[in-house]
Amino acid sequence: MRKVPSDKPFIIGLAFIFSLYLLLILGMLVADANYTSFADIAKTLQNPDIQYSLKITMLSCFIATILSIIVAVPTGYLLARFRFPGKALLDALLDIPIILPPLVIGLSLLILFHKFAIFGTSIEEWCVIIFTSIYSFFSGKEPDFSVGVTYKVPAIILAQFSVSCAFAVRTMRNTFDQMSPRQEQVAMTLGCNRSQAFWLIAVPGAWRGILTAAALAWARALGEFGPILIFAGTTRGRTEVLSTSVFLEISIGNLEGAVAVSMIMVVIALAVLFLVRLLDGRKGGLYDIN
């Protein structure tokens, strides 16, 4: 009987490639950690501008993630379960925010809101009209502050959503692709319609994928920079988030402050991703490491 060659060289090769990439990541983290200290991070956290930036970052990432999931779950289900003309083209179009340079996303949003007119009025002007009407309806007076989208907090959320949603959609498409439609088909033979099968069978069964999509969308929103820079600006105390704080600190020559903000982002990202892995780390989960 022919002797089977040992698997050791193959496994060692896999481990070597994995180790190289892991060393690169650890090297960057160690380099950042060596360039700052807990005192620098504590001092940075006491800065009112950074505190505002942290608050806006958490808020905008949360809203962008919720919006991404609201769009990604039905879109992923539609692409996974139905066949229709032009599906391949539409599926490819959804990847555009992933492959385009981030600055192009921001520029496209800026042109869309200011140069694309509906009934002779730009989208930005429509937003001002709508926001003003809503505020006046509930408060009974005209707003005494600037309303609109561009160069304001809503622009941050929209910029983050534009990119992070594409990652969430791709994750949900793969999740529904891997789920057998048999349970939904059985439910429909027992009297459920397609909508009930979606809400009662597909969505609960895809909770791990939803959790993963939310984690990816949140992480992507946290690190977004280019679209925010172009579409929302980097005004301190108004449209500043942690990623743009790093840019602002570097632009004024405060490299220590920029590294400290970077370490804060690393800690926040690790904490959230670790929490997601704990929630979905049981046997068979997407983050099962056993």
23 has pLDDT over 90: yes
- Between 67 and 41, residue with greater pLDDT: 67
The pLDDT of residue 173 is 93
**Which positions ≥6 away from 81 have C-beta within 8 Å?**
176, 181, 184
Cα separation, 28 vs 24, whole angstroms = 6
Phi, psi of 111 (to 5 degrees): -65, -40
- Asked whether the predicted pLDDT for residue 280 surpasses 70, the reply is no
Q: Per-residue b/e over 181-202, b at no fewer than 16 CB within 10 Å?
A: eeebeebeeeebeeeebbeebb
Q: Quick one: which of 125, 117, 101 has its CA closest to 229?
A: 101
Q: How far is CA 141 from CA 130, 133, 149, 154, 178, in A?
A: 14, 10, 20, 22, 53
pLDDT at 76: 95
- Tell me the pLDDT of the chain averaged across its residues: 88
The model's pLDDT over 76-103, given as tens digits with 9 standing for 90+, comes to 999 999 998 988 999 899 999 989 898 8
Lowest average pLDDT, out of 94-103, 113-122, 277-286, goes to: 277-286
* pLDDT exceeds 70 at position 255: yes
Q: Binning pLDDT at 50, 70 and 90, where does residue 1 land? A: low
Whether pLDDT at 73 is above 90: yes
Distance CA 242, CA 244 (A): 5
Token representation of residue 102: 């981030």
CA dist., res. 51 & res. 73, Å (int): 33
| Model confidence at 192: pLDDT above 90 | no
pLDDT at 145 over 80: no
- For residue 74, the model assigns a pLDDT of 95
Does the structure show a pLDDT above 80 at 257?
yes
Q: Give dist(CA 117, CA 24) in Å, integer.
A: 47
What is residue 289's predicted lDDT score, i.e. its pLDDT? 46
CA 194 from chain centre, in angstroms, equals 29
Among the listed ranges 58-67, 127-136, 156-165, 192-201, which one has the minimum average pLDDT value? 127-136
Q: What is the pLDDT of residue 149?
A: 87
- Of the pLDDT bands very low, low, confident and very high (cuts 50, 70, 90), residue 22 is very high
**For residue 281, pLDDT beyond 70:** no
